[in-house]
Amino acid sequence: MIEQKTISGSAWVALVLLGTIWGASFVSIRIALDEIGPLTSVAHRTFWAMLVLWGVVLALRIKIPRDLAVWRAFLIMGLLNNVIPFSLMAWGQLHIESGLTSILNAATAIFGVLVAALCFSDERLTLRKAFGVGLGFLGVATAIGLENLAAFDLRSLARIAVIAGTISYALASAWARSTLSALPPQLAAAGMLTGSSIITLPLAMLFEGPISLTLQPATWLAIGYYALIGTAGAYLLYYFVLKRAGSGNLMLVTLLIPPVAITLGALLLSESLAPNAYAGFALLAIGLAVLDGRVWSWLRPAA
């Protein structure tokens, strides 16, 4: 019998910290978008974080791989885990609230479990997980408000863009476990962000013009937070949890992000969400709790 991945106490601590950091990142990204475009915001995010992480790699004297297959894996990981979701969600935040974006981002966990079940024998889709996935999809549908998609305006398109980004995140998590889990996390994160920067820098300049460094202090503060803390620091935690808990369990971090993003969005951006957004998040939270399995095991009668 293949041992199934579980979440240790230290991994849970890392998950909570990661959720807090990423929750604040949604708000800082929205602040930066007041002055720069979505692709430019992604280029800043990946480039500055890349420099920091390569500094960490050099300081730790980690051997830099020369195998082209590893660098190809970095490029694909950067595309799946940074370029696609970062760009889609940044564009989405121009048209929907940061809090709502963070709630829809929680669908990452749902798609992550499905992708992991398809890819890994130790993360199979059990009856419990299938039930959790079903609740999660119901939560996503409630948060989006299916009636909102009928109008198909920019807000509905933004919702779809965010969901598409979560699918890319889920694919990235499985890809990372398959190709990068054996590497030191500092190297894996630096390599991924290098692949991302190779893609995002020319894209940003092509579609949004030259990247200006003459920005408002508030914009630089926001960039500094989401690039250095929300990306460079967060991805070190990301790979720590990935190695110890598995790609499906890692996606549970998305449950911890919305409360932080909703609170900061209300305080700093004067955002407010419709009741269906909170109802959808409640359903997502229940679904993710079922996926985790701890609550499920407590409710089961002792043998």
Closest by Cα among 199, 235, 261, 222 to 49: 235
Query: Residues 53-70: pLDDT tens digits?
Result: 999 999 999 999 999 999
Question: 196 — phi, psi (to 5°)?
Answer: -65, -45
Question: What span, in angstroms and rounded, lies between the C-alpha atoms of 79 and 77?
Answer: 5
Tell me if 29 sits within 8 A of 90, measured CB to CB.
yes
> Per-residue pLDDT for 167 more than 70?
yes
Locate tokens 């974006």: which residue?
Answer: 101
Look at residue 182 in the predicted model and tell me its pLDDT.
Answer: 83
**102-137 residue pLDDT tens:** 999 888 888 888 888 888 877 777 788 888 888 888
Q: Closest by alpha carbon to 176, among 123, 239, 231?
A: 239
**Contact assessment for residue 18 and residue 71, using Cβ atoms and an 8 Å cutoff:** no
Contacts of residue 78, defined as CB under 8 A and 6 or more positions apart, other chains included, come to: 46, 192, 193, 194, 195, 196, 197, 198, 199
The separation between CA 273 and the C-alpha centre of its own chain, rounded to angstroms, equals 21
CB atoms within 10 A of CB 247: 26
pLDDT of residue 68: 92
What length is written for the chain?
A: 303
